[in-house]
Structure 1
Amino acid sequence: MISKKHNFGAGPCILPSTVMEQAAQAVLDWNSNGLSILEVSHRSVEFESVITKTQLLVRELLNVPDSYSVLFLQGGASTQFSMVPLNFLKKGRKACYLDTGYFAKKAIKEARLFGDVEIVASSRDKAYCYIPDNYELSHGTAYLHLTSNNTIEGTEMFAFPKVAVPVVCDMSSDIFSREINVRDFDLIYAGAQKNMGPAGLTLVIAKNSFLDSVNCELPSMSDYRIYRDNNSMFNTPPVFSIYVSMLNLIWLKEMGGVKEIEKLNISKARLLYGEIDRNSLFDGLANLAHRSRMNVTFRAKDERTGAAFFELASERGMVGIRGYRTVGGFRVSLYNALPLESVEALVVLMREFEQMVACANTVSHLESVR
């Protein structure tokens, strides 16, 4: 039996053990039909029921109105950085972007290949430790682009602007982690590999009238209308990723849905942030008002202490806590399936480590005065 680690990784999401077990069985024999889920036809009645059920679960869990389409695409959220402006940045119009971190910058870079882009506000001046909220939109704005949670910098938007232009939001790292009002957005996109399922699938929730506003011919694989009109099966979809996402959304529904998982996520974040603020060895990186519940960023006050803590955590089976290379320090991701027990174990270790350092410093001091 392999010992399960505490997985705080920010990349591919931690999945519930029951989901992993069901997915593993389906790889060998799906529904006892003699075929693996990896080889079943996406045109089969059986898989059509999977894609339909997954769409219905998305609608139920996020309360998606009938006037919106639920689409399953490939290419990750990074493909959406170019697909959004390709569809909606019309000639003579301007797209407005909120610059809140690494992935927002990537979205801005891609959008500039297709037209005029204005950065209406940025938190770059303070290493993206906060979410700017004082900005105005230019006349004739095609859309406003937001990033709801900044995975690398550890900040999150808890209020969204009410504006008279279409709003597009990258929700890759906090989708399904909290309640949202889908009607506040014209298009939401999210890579599945944080809170929904394995990598290879991208969820898009789009207002139909927004999709219908596109009035030009586009490459088929870059046209949201093609996905909508073909039930996300214009070409072979990521069958396995959709299937596992269905299992994961069923698990989320059984947990009480988004409302209940949000309560658990708040508890996990409060516990860890509370220890960071209390512990004499660490400092949080994000501003208090914008601290992410999904990706907690902090650093050790002393680099040598930080290295020692990372080594100790690794020995205790804690993986994925090293901060992103451009930020440093630590990053602890608290995605939906991460149990509270893992956070409790980390907090206990942080307290134990503080005592170890204090004891070592005391011994060192006594030896120096002898």
Structure 2
Amino acid sequence: MTKRAYNFNAGPAALPLEVLQQAQEEFVDFRGIGMSIMEISHRSKEYEQVNDESQSLVKELLGVPDGYQVLFLQGGASTQFAMIPMNFLKPGTAAGYVLTGSWADKAAKEAKGFGEIYVAASGEASGFRAIPAPGDIEVRPDAAYVHITSNETIAGSQYAAYPDTGSVPLIGDLSSDIMCRPIDVSKFDFIYAGAQKNLGPSGVTVVIARDELLQASPKHVPTMLRYDTHAKSKSLYNTPPVYSVYIVNLVLKWIKSHGGLEAMERMNRDKTKLIYDAIDGSGGFYRGLVEPGSRSIMNITFALGSEELEKRFIQESEKQGFVGLKGHRDVGHLRASTYNAVPYESCKALADFMNDFRQRNG
């Protein structure tokens, strides 16, 4: 096998090599049935086993309490931006949105088309360099829900602690940091996460929600956009993204076999420390774009002194086998996405490259 790239793409993103190799082995003949999993009925016992096992693994790894269901939906997190207010933002109520960057802003703008929202807190004054403190988030007692974006993939910021919203439902977009660390799911009433950053390939979105929320879908909402539709059918109402769920299943097993979420967090903090140390120890050659207390352990954003220097960094890094280090087109600069599947060795190689580049260009 040729040398694999140092993959720092933001999504679709790196998958564990062990998962890819197992999927390759089972691609033509899934568990001895003489067919690929992509060829079998989603009503078959073989696929139902994958579906049920994957939902159980999500619950096991995250420690999901009783009273919650796990769903596998389609349309990505962006569809959830609309489905959530369609199902939960009822007339006469308002939903609070905490604005922490591009993805939180998109979720809030989508919700405006379905009802009243209010800005529960915003990091705009700091240029989204910091996540608002939990105590600074306005939770109106009559709010339909409060929505947060746990990790801003573009800005490179992440909640260190989640707010307590009391009796008001807390909804979280965990697309880019789900399974990167242990969390208290009971703080949330509804979690959603597109799989293509930290859980698997694109095509499936994981939803974890309290039973009472899933049963509260208004009847005027189209069938496919109602959560109760999918809850009643265990995510098998229509043909699911079979292969995407299968890969998620393998990734969940990989996480479990490597020590679970406690081990993932230790590994992620060790990996990202290498790169943050290269930034902080550069004497200003590299500049971090997020305040230390809000730094993400999934997406590291940084800048150099000029656009010309950043272009040179990208060109030289690509020649060395690094992929995905250009910042998002909306903000520019540089970004390294260090999801669970990105090996420690890749982060060490990037830190070494950064130090060498600084010495040659500083």
**One fold, TM greater than 0.5?**
yes
Aligned partner letter, 1:335: Y
Kindly state the Cα deviation for residue 215 of structure 1 after the two structures are TM-superposed. Answer: 4.8
Aligned partner letter, 1:157: Y
Over the matched positions of the two proteins, sequence identity in percent amounts to 45
Q: Distance in 2 between matches of 1:137 and 1:46?
A: 45
Q: Which residue of 2 aligns with 1:161?
A: 163
Contact map agreement 2:98 2:137 (CA 8 A) in 1? no
Structure 1, gaps ≥5 residues long: 359-370
- State how 1:43-82 maps to structure 2 within 5 Å: 43-82=43-82
CA deviation vs aligned residue, 1:274-315 (integer Å, no higher than 9, x gap) = 110111321000011000000000001232222211111101
Q: Distance in 2 between matches of 1:120 and 1:353?
A: 42
Q: Which residue of 2 aligns with 1:186?
A: 189
Kindly state the Cα deviation for residue 53 of structure 1 after the two structures are TM-superposed. Answer: 0.7
Aligned partner letter, 1:146: I
Q: Which residue of 1 aligns with 2:97?
A: 97
Q: Distance in 2 between matches of 1:46 and 1:29?
A: 12
Q: Distance in 1 between matches of 2:152 and 2:342?
A: 19
Q: Structure 1 residues 331-340 or 12-21, which shifts more?
A: 12-21
SS in 2 for 1:70: strand
SS in 2 for 1:97: strand
CA deviation vs aligned residue, 1:236-260 (integer Å, no higher than 9, x gap) = 0110000010011101100000111
Q: Structure 1 residues 301-310 or 9-18, which shifts more?
A: 301-310
SS in 2 for 1:117: strand
SS in 2 for 1:72: strand
Q: Distance in 2 between matches of 1:343 and 1:357?
A: 21
CA deviation vs aligned residue, 1:92-139 (integer Å, no higher than 9, x gap) = 000110011111111111101110011121112232111112132234
CA deviation vs aligned residue, 1:171-211 (integer Å, no higher than 9, x gap) = 00000001100100000000001111100000000001222
Q: Distance in 1 between matches of 2:148 and 2:196?
A: 19
Q: Distance in 1 between matches of 2:103 and 2:310?
A: 26
Structure 2 counterpart of 1:302, from 285, 303, 306:
306
Contact map agreement 2:120 2:146 (CA 8 A) in 1? no
Q: Which residue of 2 aligns with 1:230?
A: 233
Structure 1 counterpart of 2:149, from 138, 147, 167:
147
Q: Distance in 2 between matches of 1:244 and 1:289?
A: 33
SS in 2 for 1:15: coil
Kindly state the Cα deviation for residue 2 of structure 1 after the two structures are TM-superposed. Answer: 3.1
Q: Runs in 1 of length 4+ with deviation above 4 angstroms?
A: none
Structure 2 counterpart of 1:340, from 341, 344, 362:
344
Q: Distance in 2 between matches of 1:263 and 1:335?
A: 13
Structure 1 counterpart of 2:203, from 200, 204, 207:
200
Q: Which residue of 1 aligns with 2:122?
A: 122
Q: Distance in 2 between matches of 1:137 and 1:194?
A: 30
Aligned partner letter, 1:273: Y
Q: Which residue of 2 aligns with 1:330?
A: 334
Aligned partner letter, 2:312: A
Structure 2, gaps ≥5 residues long: none
Kindly state the Cα deviation for residue 221 of structure 1 after the two structures are TM-superposed. Answer: 0.7
Q: Which residue of 2 aligns with 1:247?
A: 250
Q: Distance in 2 between matches of 1:163 and 1:109?
A: 22
Q: Distance in 2 between matches of 1:239 and 1:263?
A: 32
Q: Which residue of 1 aligns with 2:274?
A: 271
Q: Structure 1 residues 160-169 or 184-193, which shifts more?
A: 160-169
> What TM-score, normalized to structure 2?
0.96
Q: Distance in 1 between matches of 2:215 and 2:35?
A: 39
Aligned partner letter, 2:231: R
Number of equivalent positions: 358
Q: Distance in 1 between matches of 2:122 and 2:238?
A: 38
Aligned partner letter, 2:147: H
